[in-house]
Chain A
């Protein structure tokens, strides 16, 4: 076979393996019970070799990039390959064993050909309800993992194709919505079956030995490609830091710090100097910190680099144990994979802004605005639970404004459509719009966050919240200004105005709390954060400022104060302005 024939053969193999992973994801979406799967895409599907090295993945949730890279290999190392038999499916959600956070369950199934283990099909999915202190697990004020939900070490969920009912019973008994768990886990099992069948067909067609050889070559090529990408970044050490509002337990801000060292074709993201692990749930696991780092580097390098184990190898992460970026047992970690992941992406990109000014964007909204709720549905009499999140504004970049209302970079999750939301849950959406003035001012402004107002339509609903970016806006770059902050507020029935939960319910944190009861007629107002601006706002063309005012995304007051442009609000005509 000539070199070009070999290269074509490898590309075809890569595409086929990736397609298998995508098909696994489609099976998940179409068969899961929970919106967090079938609307939110909060999962990942991947294939591994028998040592646990990733050979392909589909483009699902990037927050699990690190978990996929580590947890399968660690599980195989812990259990030994001999533990896997045909028809077995193992499950675990242990955040201290390579997981991202407790709701994300890894299901792993061996793929056998003629009785020999070739590799594994894996899915990691965010199970919407796992027991614990608060509905939906993402309680903003938990202080240890035991309050967050049911923790499973690696155990068999299926053995020889049969349900291990002892494990299923434990899970169903400890989750508040067992029917959803049952359905979602079976969607994951179906996904694994798809992966298994497709890889078996692939092996039958091209042989085990040739496939092993070629996936190893693909991995090496991916590594070389990523090394070339890193080598193109100027050598140097680039530092950046950011603060999180609080940990939900005390009001003290928490600092994250990174030094990105680029040395030839190797990159080290060193988080030494980050604050110690906190009492509250914003601690990240090692896998989260690695995921956030990979996420940032993948954003800044060629998107065509095949996503297998090879592309991870030149990227090294240093995360001191016992800090915000490498939580130790029994530290609470439920918010690490939503809030802290975003900040890790943000500080790595912020650090590399000095090296790659053409490629980076200013800070994105960087909070999932995690809003959890549950109760007994008045129409069905059954317990329901939901994990709702919001889009944010992305940062402006050198050549464009930031995207408005976009999923945070830790995920590709879609917003649940209002029709689906209202059909399933006892809320009415009173308002939903882009939030004016939330985009950080700049030559290229930050994208806008959103405002959503929900009215309760059940006698009572229990809610929890885990937001960040409520105190400091997303960072701007090169003179751009910070984006607008996020918030969650309540207007109880009959009240005149929305109030923070600290005032209405006495919570310690304005946006990290759990188990607050709201009642019929009460309204919840969720504002998501905007992106930071890029470049001096005074250099933004007049027409673009004028357009933003006309589109009601920028107030005349902000146009004057931040862009130096006086605009008549009614006519949106320019009265005076400093730019040409």
Chain B
């Protein structure tokens, strides 16, 4: 399931810190809930807290727009 690159606005960025064994907080995909290990697909979203949406991969940006938002009406 490849996401249609032309419709995506995000970019890969380092976000997770899995080797920080002193802290147990984990970062999760804003769509599917999967843990972000190191790389995140980050979408600029000024209306969101922090100004961005973080996904585990590009497909989740598409699913967020096409499924999540129409069904649930906003971020978690």
**Counting CB contacts under 8 A, is A328 at the interface?**
yes
Q: Measured between alpha carbons, how far is A317 from B72 in the docked complex, in Å?
A: 15
Interface residues on B, range: 20 to 34
* Given A77-B39, A96-B35, A319-B33, also A270-B67 (CB < 8 A): yes
**How many residues of chain A get a CB closer than 8 Å to chain B's CBs?**
30
B38 and A78 contacting across the interface, CB-CB below 8 Å: yes
Which residue of A97, A153, A321, A329 is within 8 Å of B33 (Cβ)? A321
Chain A nearest CB, measured from B38 CB (Å): 5
A318 and B26 contacting across the interface, CB-CB below 8 Å: no
A77 and B37 contacting across the interface, CB-CB below 8 Å: yes
Chain A residue at minimal CB-CB distance from B17: A78
**Counting CB contacts under 8 A, is A326 at the interface?**
yes
B1 and A328 contacting across the interface, CB-CB below 8 Å: no
* Given A272-B72, A326-B33, A328-B26, also A316-B63 (CB < 8 A): yes
> Which residues 243-275 of A sit at the B interface, judged by CB distance below 8 A?
259, 261, 263, 266, 268, 270, 272
Residues of B within 8 A of A70 (CB): 34
B59 and A316 contacting across the interface, CB-CB below 8 Å: yes
Residues of A within 8 A of B28 (CB): 321, 326
B31 and A320 contacting across the interface, CB-CB below 8 Å: no
B34 and A286 contacting across the interface, CB-CB below 8 Å: yes
> Which residues 27-76 of B sit at the A interface, judged by CB distance below 8 A?
28, 31-35, 37-39, 59, 63, 67-68, 71-72, 76
A77 and B32 contacting across the interface, CB-CB below 8 Å: no
Number of A-B contacts (CB under 8 A): 60
**Secondary structure class of chain A's binding surface, majority of residues:** mixed
Residues of B within 8 A of A314 (CB): 1
Residues of A within 8 A of B26 (CB): 96, 328-329
A318 and B37 contacting across the interface, CB-CB below 8 Å: no
Chain B nearest CB, measured from A451 CB (Å): 40
Chain A nearest CB, measured from B67 CB (Å): 6
**Counting CB contacts under 8 A, is A183 at the interface?**
no
Which residue of B21, B31, B39 is within 8 Å of A318 (Cβ)? B31
Contact with B along A299-331 (1 / 0, CB 8 A): 000000000000001101111110000101110
Interface pairs A-B: 6 shortest CB-CB:
A78-B18, A329-B24, A319-B33, A77-B37, A321-B28, A313-B1
A-B contact pairs, 21 of them (CB 8 A): A70-B34, A74-B18, A74-B37, A77-B37, A78-B19, A96-B24, A96-B35, A97-B35, A98-B35, A227-B1, A286-B33, A286-B35, A313-B1, A316-B32, A318-B33, A318-B63, A319-B32, A319-B34, A321-B76, A326-B33, A329-B25
Given contacts A77-B39, A268-B67, A321-B28, 9 further A-B contacts (CB under 8 A): A74-B18, A78-B18, A78-B38, A97-B35, A223-B1, A259-B71, A286-B35, A326-B33, A329-B24
